Amino acid sequence: MMMIMILSILTLMISLLLILINNLISYKMINDREKSSPFECGFDPKSSPRLPFSLQFFLIAIMFLIFDIEISLMLPLIVTLKMSNLFSFITITIMFIMILLMGLYHEWKQGALNWAY
């Protein structure tokens, strides 16, 4: 047990030493305007190199993740069918799906699903 502890401390020390050496060697102190600007065939760029962030796409992605997680929460309902009676299973399943549909309806009414304004 003591050997494992010594080896783990030694591994940690070597890792920290390598990280420190890497930071000391690769640190760039010169911030040059030409190096940090985007290259466009030797000319100054005509527009911003960054695209604007689409909030609509972000909202759609978040809603997809939420509904995806809720679908994964529905999978154990199949296993609980064997352990419970049919009436309680159907009641719980219908309540869960109704909550999902109410959330979808709310998002639809708020206009979060409209891509263009």
Sequential pLDDT tens for the chain (117 residues) = 889 999 999 999 999 999 999 888 876 656 666 666 666 666 666 666 666 777 778 878 888 888 788 888 888 878 877 888 888 888 888 998 898 889 888 888 887 777 665
Instruction: Provide the Cα torsion 107, 113, 116, 117; round to 10°.
Output: -10
- b/e string for 43-67 if b means 16 or more Cβ within 10 A? eeeeeeeeeeeeeeeeeeeeeeeee
Is-contact 45 37, C-beta < 8 A?
yes
Domain positions in the chain: 68-107
Question: How far is Cα 21 from Cα 25, in angstroms, rounded to an integer?
Answer: 6
